[in-house]
Structure 1
Amino acid sequence: MSDTTRENSEIEQPAAAAPANDAARASANDTEPRTEEAPTPEEVAELKDRLLRTLADMENLRRRTQREIEDARKFAITGFARDLLEVADNLSRALASVPPEAREANEFVKNLVLGVEMTGRSLLNAFEKHQVRKVEPQKGDKFDHKLHQAMFEVPTNAQPPGTIAEVVQAGYVIADRLLRPALVGVAKAAPQADTAADEETTEPGVRVDTVA
C-alpha cells in the first residue's frame, strides 16, 4: 500500500463515524420527557359545561323514552276498548228495557236479567283490569268539560245552572285519558215570568193611595 492510499484512509474514518454520533444524539433527545401546556381555566369551564349538557340531554332522553314506553303500555288497547263500549251500552239498554214487574212475574225473565247483569259486571271488571273506568255522573253534579259533553240545556230552577240535569249516556276513561265523554243535559236558569203584574199587586189588607 502506498503512502498516499494510507493517508486517504486515515482522513475518511472520522467522516464515517459522524452519522453514528448524530443517531446517538437523536436517540438521547427522544428519551427526554416532553411537557404539554395545561388547559386554561376557560377551557376547563367549557369542557365542564359540555359534559353537564350532555348528561342532561341523556337524562331527558331516558325519561322521555320511559314515558313513551309507559304510554304505549297503557293505551295500547284504546281502539279495542272503544269498540267494546258499545257492547256495554247494549247490555245496559237490555236491562233498562225490562220492566221491574216483568222480572217478578216471570222466572225465566228474572233469570235472564240476572245473566245479563252478571255479564255486564264481568265486562266492567275486565275494563278495570286494564284501567278502563266508567264515568257515570249523577244528577246535580257540576258539569266538567273534561269528562262530560253537553247535549242540550234544561231550563229549571230546581238546581243551580251549570249542573247536570240528565244523563243520556255514561262515559269512560282509560288510565288518565278520556276514552269517551258522558253525554248529559245541563241545567240553566228558567226564564223569569213577567213581573209587571206582580209590581201592581199588593199584600191583602194594605191600602195603596194613588196620586192624581
Structure 2
Amino acid sequence: MTMSSPHSIEDEAVATEATDVATLLSENASLKDRLLRALADAENARRQADRKAEDTRKFAVAELARELLPVIDNLQRVLEARKTAQSSENDALLEGVETTLRLFLQTLERFGVKKIVASGQRFDPSLHEALMEADDASHPPGMVTQVLEDGYMIHDRLLRPARVVVSKKQPPMDQGSIL
C-alpha cells in the first residue's frame, strides 16, 4: 500500500481552495457587473418615465388649444371687419371683443401656446402652409407677403401652421417687347 505524502494532500487542498477562490471571485465580478447594468437600466427607465411625464404635462392642453384656435380666428375677423367699416356703432362691443381676444391669447401663452410670426419672413414649410403665390415686386421670391390665418406653436411643437401667401419669382422681362 502506498501512502501519500502529507505534502501532496496539503498541496491538493491548497490548489482546490485557490480554484474555489478564483471561481468565487469570478462569480462576484459577474454579479457585480449584472447589478451595475440593472441599476443603469433602472435609472434609464426612470429618466424616460420622467421625460414622458414632462411631455404629457407640457402638451396636455395641445388638443384643447387646437380646438380653440378657430374661436381666436373669428374674434380676429370681427376686429378686422371693424377696421374696414369705420363705424362708431357698437364700439363698446368691439372693445369687449378686443379685450376678450387679448385675454384669450395671454391665457394660451401661459400654457406655452405662441403665435408664429410669419409676415415678412422667408417661407418655411415646417411653420407655414402656402395657400397661394403672388407676384410682388416689393419682396424677393419665397417671402411671406400676407398671413391669411395665424399659425401657433405649443412649446417647441407645431400646433397649426400659418396659412400664407408667398411671393414668387418675377418672370424675366421680354427684351423684344421694349421698343
Do they fold alike, i.e. is TM over 0.5?
A: yes
Q: Quick one: which of 103, 109, 118 aligns to 1:128? A: 109
CA distance in 1, matches of 2:118, 2:90: 29
Q: SS of 2:152's equivalent? A: strand
Q: SS of 2:39's equivalent? A: helix
1:86 paired with 2:79, answer: no
Q: Quick one: which of 64, 70, 77 aligns to 2:48? A: 64
User: How far 1:193 sits from its partner (Å)?
Assistant: 1.7
Q: SS of 1:144's equivalent? A: coil
Root mean square deviation, CA, Å: 2.3
Decide whether aligned partners of structure 1 residues 194 and 56 sit closer, same or farther in structure 2, where only a CA change above 3 A counts.
Answer: same
TM-score (norm 2): 0.79
1:110 paired with 2:91, answer: yes
Unpaired segments ≥5 residues, structure 2: 1-16
User: How far 1:195 sits from its partner (Å)?
Assistant: 1.9
User: How far 1:197 sits from its partner (Å)?
Assistant: 5.1
Decide whether aligned partners of structure 1 residues 101 and 188 sit closer, same or farther in structure 2, where only a CA change above 3 A counts.
Answer: closer
User: How far 1:47 sits from its partner (Å)?
Assistant: 3.1
1:157·1:190 contact (CA, 8 Å) conserved in 2? yes
Q: Which residue of 1 aligns with 2:135?
A: 155
Structure 1 residue runs of 4+, over 6 Å off? none
Max radius of gyration: which structure? 1
Identity %: 43
Unpaired segments ≥5 residues, structure 1: 1-34, 202-212
User: How far 1:168 sits from its partner (Å)?
Assistant: 0.8
Relative contact order, higher structure (CA 8 A, sep 6+): 2
Q: Which residue of 2 aligns with 1:3?
A: none
TM-score (norm 1): 0.68
- Counterpart amino acid of 1:64? Q
1:170·1:181 contact (CA, 8 Å) conserved in 2? yes
Decide whether aligned partners of structure 1 residues 43 and 168 sit closer, same or farther in structure 2, where only a CA change above 3 A counts.
Answer: same
Q: SS of 1:80's equivalent? A: helix
1:147·1:178 contact (CA, 8 Å) conserved in 2? yes
